[in-house]
Amino acid sequence: MGLFDGKKGLVFGIANDRSIAWAITQALHAEGAEMGFTHLPDADPERPKMFKRLSKLVDGIGPKFKLSCDVTKNEDLDRVFETAKAEFGEVDFVLHSIAYAPIDDLQGPVHAVSRDGFKQSMEISVYSMMDITGRSREILKEGGAVLTLTYLGGEKVIPGYNVMGLCKSALETAVEYLAHELGPEGKRVNALSAGPLKTLSSSAVGDFGKMLKLYPAIAPMRRNVTPEEVGKVGMFLLSDLASGISGENLHVDAGFHIMGAPPADAKFEAEG
């Protein structure tokens, strides 16, 4: 018997097979969860690239629905939650894996971020979590959970992470406030802070290659984490095993976040 037998949930934000949301989805499916999914809107409806990309991954696990969703549009979110209510009635979990910043703003210094770029980054990366959580209250069962994804750049300066660090900082604070607000209803809200993994989002982050080399040198476990490890922890936080955890930002980074300086045996690869 799986931890999620008979349980149902919504997954926002699978971009491709390297997405952390996909790693968590696989762990949820292995434990018996039924899920509905959203994907980014397709620019050309005649060539539904995003729909096909999601379908290639999830069709093998029996998705209850697959819907296009632009989180900046109320009508799209209305449709997703109306479909979820019609299909499931109630859900046991919601996974939010959505973040975006215009590439010029992301790769440039924080002091030079454009006003419109900042607003768009915060709306998609932070407000979407607040909005989705608020909408989830109507269908989320008592004992249910909402989970979002963050990174250490929201707590400390990570060169190259830039404006997304500001977004993740705001996201982590939003998680605490949302946990406070949903707690009396018996519902939990948490964040998972993973070490650097090769995802579509991380490919746009400056100096990402250096991060991948840094973790094995500095992390207490002398390695980086795997998508499978992150996926299992995401599944745990959404499960009844984590029934007493809310408002938490759980790090899955081989211990990297505890270090204030490199260990004595740290070895760094030479530049070039």
100 catalytic per annotation = no
Give the active site residue among 127, 151, 177, 215: 151
125-154 CB burial, b ≥16 within 10 A, e <16:
bbbbbbbbbebbeebbbeebbbbbbbbbbb
Look up tokens 């959404």; give the residue: 238
Give the burial class of 74: count Cβ atoms within 10 A of its Cβ; 0-12 exposed, 13-18 middle, 19 or more buried: exposed
Tokens 């019609």, located at residue: 86
Helix (H) / strand (E) containing 142: strand 140-150
CA 131, CA 104: separation in Å to the nearest integer? 26
Distance linking the first and last C-alpha atoms of the chain? 51
In terms of phi and psi (left: phi > 0; alpha: psi -120 to 50; beta: otherwise), the region of 252 is beta
Q: What is the dihedral of CA 117, 118, 122, 124, to 10 degrees?
A: 0
Q: Which amino acid is at 81?
A: F
Token representation of residue 95: 């996974």
Burial-class residue 241 by CB neighbours within 10 Å (0-12, 13-18, 19+). exposed
Contact at 8 Å (CB) between 125 and 168? yes
Pick the catalytic residue from 100, 127, 161, 215.
Answer: 161
Instruction: Catalogue the active-site residues.
Output: 151, 161
